[in-house]
Structure 1
Amino acid sequence: MVGVLNESDSEDEMPPGWEERATLDGNVYYVNHYTKGTQWTHPRTGRKKIVEGELPAGWERCVSEDGKVLFVDHMNRTTTYTDPRLAFATEYREISQPVRQRFDASSTALSVLLGRDLRGKLALITGANTGIGFETARSLALHGCNVILACRDVQKAQEAVKKIQQEKENALCEVLHLNLASLRSVRDAAEKFKQRHRTLHILILNAGLFAVPYMLTEDGYETIFQVNHLSHFYLTLLLEHALRTCASPRVVIVSSESHRFSSIQSAEDIHPLTLSPPAYKYWSMGAYNDSKLCNMLFAQELARRWPSVSVFSCHPGNMVSSDLSRYSWTFRLLFAIVRPFTKSLQQAASTTVFCATAPELEGATGIYFNNCYRCDPSNAALDPALAIRLWNISQEMIISIVKRDKLWYDLALK
């Protein structure tokens, strides 16, 4: 489309018949009055924009009786449907934009943070009491970041905080109880967070399960799917306001190269009974691979829906010696054999920490990282139809549980 548009003195100028508008959450979209169609990308440049910040002095946003959003200029006594901030809309960087490599597979999380001062930043990390999550929390806390360790086992999380504070006495760490096998626990954890904090700068979705026997959560979903994807999806949505009301927020989703081996290849493959299969269709490795693709698809769709938030997914390393294999003696043995040839926990945490803090990623979003460098995910991970389908099905699965819990609560009161 861009190539057939008329010449203009400015590539950013709107072609005839086009109008620029903004959604309530700041996404700029473009209306073609000839075709009555809309699109997210600029008709000339093909790029996306967002509007941020407060309205100019003297302006007020109102909602009319018929539900339309109006902007009132009290100084000039005028009213318009056009957001005045559109004049200052900014572009955000796409996933195709190169990122300079400063670190590699041998880098540690602490080397990534060398010389950085993270005071004033608040990070929430799931599964932070052990393994890669602990090294991520430790590295951020040692550099001044206020870190919330969101964990199922509160006692182990408190012990992890003590370890960090033995290295740095004034390290700012706190514990938040979070059981990802329970959507009610996720909801409670989000409420407790909101009672203590107004904003969140960094959300790291690190916790995960691997090679577990078939089990259902209290919500009735297969455990790997719920812990690795569904509960993290729910937690992120519940923390939307805290993330989007602070400057330069980031969401880092720890995925895996295993996403390339997922059996999910089309939108028809995404269904509650395939995401959370019955026992006779369950294979733990397949469930893990599918959950890691869900992580990737969630990251892509979140980046599209929340353009003011930098969203990254990453692979920490292959067969890192962590607690991930604790449920299978076969994998514990295999992980032990390959341990001399794999990353240390500090090295495995480096890519997560890089995504969460690297200055050169400011304004970027939707990128997948391995060894602290951008790499291409699988074709399925970039399929927008898959991402939208997963988002919608995930919402439906959560809503069904929330409605069930509300019904049970209402009955209990009678």
Structure 2
Amino acid sequence: MAAMALLSPLLPVLRNYYIALKVILQQLLCRAFVLPDLPRQDGKVAFVTGGSRGIGYYTAKHLAKHGMHVIIAGNNEADGNEAVRRIQQDTLNEKVEFLFCDLASMKSIRNCVQNFKAKNLGLHVLINNAGVMLVPESKTEDGFETHFGLNFLGHFLLTNLLLDTMRKSGTPYFNTRVVTVSSATHFNGELNFDDLQTSHCYSSHGAYAQSKLALVLFTYYLQHQLTAEGCYVTANSVDPGVVNTNLYQHVSWPGRFVKWLTGWLFLKTAEEGAFTSIYASISPDLEGIGGCYLYNGQRIKSADVTYNTEVQKKLWSESCKMAALPALS
């Protein structure tokens, strides 16, 4: 019993590293996904969270390159404005702008949506990309565990507040799209409805995996509701793979050293990591198709629990309470 108690906090760590190793091997052995030629998207609007750096930056850049009006949402105004300047310069698309949005604050999310709606724009693609990984135990402004509160609940609220605009923007010929970035670690995630804030026996690895699992469950239940409504909006979840970004800052120093030493060889670049998000956002192959989990540009099966509609519905219901949104009818 004592040995199990000592081993228990290590299990999420070992499981996450096992999954990461499997994905890295797949990346080495399988042909990398190359972004195909995609049609222009002139006149359409995209909203990208975390678009100032990493995967989000290259997602925003490619969408701007395809003619979209791109809104970059982030919590660092200096980084956001610099990203806007660089994207405008590289793509010659002036319709790129920054909106402040701190996903760790529900007040900030609501203010951001209000500022966006004041622009009287449509919304054709929402990419829930921003996130934190393996941060020490901490809470958001509203008292939620940081991984759960920022990675999942912040995007849950943001999506629900923007859905009315997306419904109005969708047509039978072009469904608007919600694209949510998850991770292979969701296969190791466990939802404990009695302790969604992981207040007992905190593990940053477990909390991160739980947040990524919640994002897939949220995507599938959202698609279920959109289908029932008959509206022209789809929702899909994507896995970028193991990518060489700044998200590893909270990994232990030996891990950071190994990543620095070998990341260029074994990990995807941030731009390569963005390819599946871009594909899911504007590829004609996915027109009108939702409820999918995509990796390397392909639809694959996600964790078994993600298809459990009772778990999906329970998470949605609990999330509505936490985000102060109307309950399910």
- TM above 0.5: yes
Which of residues 244, 253, 261 is equivalent to 2:188? 261
| Equivalent residue number for residue 102 of structure 2 | 179
What is the match of residue 138 of structure 1?
A: 61
Whole-Å separation in 2 of the counterparts to 1:310 and 1:291? 21
Coordinate RMSD, CA, aligned: 1.7
| TM-score of the pair, normalised by structure 2 | 0.84
Are 1:207 and 1:228, in contact at CA under 8 Å, matched by a contact in 2?
Answer: yes
Question: Offset of 1:329 from its aligned partner?
Answer: 4.3
Which residue of 210, 214, 235 corresponds with 1:311?
235
Give the letter for the 1:212 counterpart. Answer: V
Q: Which amino acid aligns with 1:252?
A: V
Residues 1:204 and 2:127 are matched in the alignment = yes
The gaps in structure 1 that reach 5 residues or longer are 1-103, 403-414
- Please give the alpha-carbon distance, in whole angstroms, between the structure 1 residues aligned to 2:94 and 2:31: 28
Count of residues in Structure 1 that have an aligned counterpart in Structure 2: 287
DSSP-derived class of the 2:116 partner: helix
Structure 1: distance between partners of 2:100 and 2:256: 27
Contact 2:44 2:122 in 1 (8 A): no
Q: Which amino acid aligns with 2:239?
A: H
Query: 1:159-196: per-residue Cα shift (whole Å, max 9, x none)?
Result: 01111122123342010100011011011111111111
The equivalent residue for 1:325 is 248
Name which of 77, 93, 100 aligns with 1:154: 77
Deviation at 1:154, TM superposition (A): 1.1
How far off is 1:398 after superposition?
A: 1.6
**Among residues 303, 323, 326, which one is paired with 1:398 in the alignment?**
323
Q: Spell out, residue by residue over 1:230-250, the C-alpha distance to the aligned partner (whole angstroms, 9 max, x if none).
A: 010000111111110112110
- CA displacement at 1:335 relative to structure 2: 2.7
Matches within 5 A, 1:242-257: 242-247=165-170, 248-257=175-184
Instruction: Kindly provide the amino acid, as one letter, of the partner of residue 316 in structure 2.
Output: W
Query: Which residue number in structure 1 is paired with residue 197 of structure 2?
Result: 276
| 2:51 paired with 1:128 | yes
CA contact (8 A) 1:128 1:149 kept: yes
Q: Where does residue 293 of structure 1 map in the other structure?
A: 213
* Contact preservation (8 Å) 1:105, 1:347: no
Deviation at 1:115, TM superposition (A): 5.1
**Partner residue of 1:107 out of 14, 26, 33:** 33
Structure 2 alignment gaps of length 5 or more: 1-29
- Residue 58 of structure 1 corresponds to which residue in structure 2? none
Residue 231, structure 1, aligned to residue 144, structure 2: no
Name which of 287, 303, 311 aligns with 1:386.
311
The 1:303/1:115 distance shift into structure 2, 3 A limit, reads closer
Higher strand share: 1
**5 Å matches for 1:336-355?**
336-339=260-263, 340-355=265-280
What letter corresponds to residue 217 of structure 2 in structure 1? L
SS at match of 1:299: helix
Which residues of 2 match residues 39-54 of structure 1 at below 5 A?
Answer: none
Q: Hey, what's the Cα distance between the residues in 1 that align with 2:196 and 2:71?
A: 30
1:157-172 to 2 correspondence within 5 Å?
Answer: 157-172=80-95
Between structure 1 and structure 2, the one with the greater Rg is 1
Contact 1:105 1:371 in 2 (8 A): no
Shift of 1:116: 2.1
Contact persistence 2:276–2:297 (CA under 8 A): yes
Q: Deviations over 1:193-214 (max 9, x none)?
A: 1111342100000001101001
Q: Which residue of 1 aligns with 2:10?
A: none
The answer to whether the 8 A contact 2:51-2:57 is kept is: yes
The runs of at least 4 aligned residues of structure 1 exceeding 6 Å deviation read none
Distance apart, 1:360 and its partner CA: 1.5
Asked if the contact 1:105/1:372 (under 8 Å) is kept, the reply is: no
Shift of 1:337: 3.7
SS in 2 for 1:326: helix
Structure 1 position 105, deviation (Å): 5.5
Per the alignment, in what secondary structure is the counterpart of residue 369 of structure 1? strand
Q: TM-score, with normalisation over the residues of structure 1?
A: 0.67
Name the SS of the counterpart of 1:349 in structure 2. Answer: helix
Mean alpha-carbon deviation: is it higher for 329-338 or for 152-161? Answer: 329-338
Separation in 2 of the partners of 1:198 and 1:120?
Answer: 10
CA contact (8 A) 2:61 2:91 kept: no
SS at match of 2:169: coil
CA distance in 1, matches of 2:267, 2:74: 26
Larger proportion of helix: 2
Provide the rounded CA distance (Å) in 2 between the counterparts of 1:382 and 1:181: 28
1:351 CA displacement: 0.4
User: 1:255-298, CA deviations, whole angstroms, 9 ceiling, x for partnerless residues?
Assistant: 0110000123xxxx324xx21122x5210000000000000000
Superposed counterparts of 1:84-95, under 5 Å: none
Q: Which amino acid aligns with 1:147?
A: V
Residue identity in the other structure for 1:257:
A
Q: Secondary structure at the match of 1:106?
A: coil
SS in structure 1 of the partner of residue 136 of structure 2: coil
Find the residue that maps to 2:132 and give its secondary structure.
Answer: coil
CA distance in 2, matches of 1:270, 1:383: 15
